[in-house]
Amino acid sequence: MMINNMRLQNFRNYENETIQFMPGTNILIGDNGQGKTNIIEGIYYLLTGKSYRVHREQELLRWDQSEFHLYGDFLMNDRKVSLESHYKDKRKMVKINKVSCQRLSDFVGTINVIFFSPDDLVMIKGGPSERRRFLDLHIAQMRPGHVSILNAYNKVIQQKSALLKSFTDKHLKYSQLQLWNEQIIELGEKIILNRADLTQRLQDAADPIYGNLSSKKEKLMILYYALGKRTANEAISEFPKLLNDKLDQEIERQMVLVGPHRDDLQILLNNKPARLYASQGQQRSLVLSLKLAELEIIRQEKGEYPLLLLDDVLSELDRFRRDYLIKFIESSHIQTLITMTSADNHLELGTLYFVEQGHIRRET
């Protein structure tokens, strides 16, 4: 998969800028605050419908503007695909080849992308919500319907939570909670199965990569704990009982205590939680392994590698990990966009673009 060109209108610090990208590696160079990351963010938003930096579209608007527009031309399996994303009047609209999509799930996954930045260490060091987000974002690219399932599940959780906090008669509340639990089970089972499947594929793909990075001295293990259980089948079989057993406690605490919205992905290094025991260097190797594993899984699924976006990653990796990543990119012929403040010794990597105050110039 490749991006041929990108147009940003009133997005972040870009008024109206068009960029032509090249096959292979594209390096965006510029001082901090000039707009390098904004280009990466724009591409990611165009492909996923989400920003990895903020939650509100208003924060993506150019100063004193009320709408932004993103356009991109891509190549997928030798087929040209045109994508658009518009935010106007506080509403979002997306198009594929000029045709509007009714749902975001009809759009996400058209062109796949893997994003990697130093902030991704939060996958290791952060809480369960960060790791659930990592799983769900990846699943959505391969199984767009996962977005609809998650949205429906979250709405049910919100409704159940509102009921738990209401002053409804306790007897009536019990019967209504049972109805919400039925929907939680139906939707939750699908989420659990999707996450468990991806976890196993990540384990299979990331383990040999991490083995190479650690000279076979360390062992990576990735486990998905659904409802606190080690296997998806065990979690699903006990789901109704767990919900029923926690019902009184949920009413007392006025919160939903059971469901995949509380699950976690355990990342273990030599059978110990990496969050607690892995060094900074080991954590970087773990994240790098997971990102490269994502690339391989999408290649297996779609028949070609996705677009790879690296935001200031090379400066954060030591020479060994940096060289490993570069060799992987070059040998796999993955189109890659990299941001950095200076070219340094990476001039031989690919095409250079200089970014300054919201304008881009390609070196000729």
Q: Are residues 280 and 363 in the same domain?
A: no
Q: Are residues 186 and 333 in the same domain?
A: no
What is the pLDDT at residue 348? 65
Looking up residue 32, the CATH number of its domain turns out to be: 3.40.50.300
Range of the domain at 186: 120-302
The token pair that represents 347 in the structure block: 């001039």
Question: C-alpha angle 240/243/244, rounded to 5°?
Answer: 85
Q: Are residues 129 and 250 in the same domain?
A: yes
What is the pLDDT at residue 273? 94
Looking up residue 131, the CATH number of its domain turns out to be: 1.20.1050.90
What is the pLDDT at residue 364? 67
Identify residue 174 by its one-letter amino acid code: Y
Q: Are residues 50 and 154 in the same domain?
A: no
Q: Are residues 125 and 97 in the same domain?
A: no
Q: Considering Cα of 187, then 191, then 196, then 197, what sign does the dihedral take?
A: positive
Strand duo 220-225 + 113-116: pairing = unpaired
Domain boundary residue among 267, 302, 337?
302
The token pair that represents 355 in the structure block: 């970014």
Domain boundary residue among 281, 302, 323?
302
Q: Are residues 125 and 264 in the same domain?
A: yes
The token pair that represents 108 in the structure block: 């996400």
Q: Are residues 40 and 88 in the same domain?
A: yes
Q: Are residues 93 and 209 in the same domain?
A: no
Contacts of 89 (CB under 8 A, 6+ apart): 66, 67
CA–CA distance, 317 with 340 (Å, rounded to integer): 13
- Distance set, CA 88 to CA 57, 156, 200, 202 (Å): 10, 29, 40, 38
Instruction: For residue 130, give the nearest of 264, 228, 221, 231 by alpha carbon.
Output: 264
| Contact criterion met (CB below 8 Å) for 355 and 362 | no
Q: Are residues 207 and 290 in the same domain?
A: yes
Q: How many domains, in total, are found in the chain?
A: 2
- Distance set, CA 134 to CA 26, 117, 179, 294 (Å): 25, 13, 30, 10
What is the pLDDT at residue 169? 80
Known binding-site positions for ATP = 30-37
Q: Are residues 298 and 310 in the same domain?
A: no
Q: Are residues 107 and 125 in the same domain?
A: no
What is the pLDDT at residue 181? 96
| Contact criterion met (CB below 8 Å) for 81 and 87 | no
Identify residue 238 by its one-letter amino acid code: E
Known binding-site positions = 30-37
Domain boundary residue among 285, 302, 319?
302
Instruction: For residue 39, give the nearest of 67, 6, 69, 75 by alpha carbon.
Output: 6
Q: Are residues 85 and 165 in the same domain?
A: no
pTM: 0.90
One digit per residue, the tens of pLDDT, for the chain of length 364 reads 999 999 999 999 999 999 999 999 999 999 888 999 999 999 999 999 888 888 888 899 999 899 999 999 999 988 999 999 999 988 999 999 999 998 877 888 899 999 998 889 999 999 999 999 999 999 998 898 898 999 999 999 999 999 999 887 878 888 899 999 999 999 999 999 999 999 999 999 999 999 999 888 899 999 999 999 989 999 999 999 999 999 999 999 999 999 999 999 999 999 999 999 999 889 999 999 999 999 999 999 999 999 999 998 888 888 888 888 889 998 999 999 999 887 665 556 789 999 998 899 998 6
DSSP letters of 297-346? HHHHHHSS--EEEEES-GGGS-HHHHHHHHHHHHHHT--EEEEES--TT-
| Contact criterion met (CB below 8 Å) for 324 and 27 | no
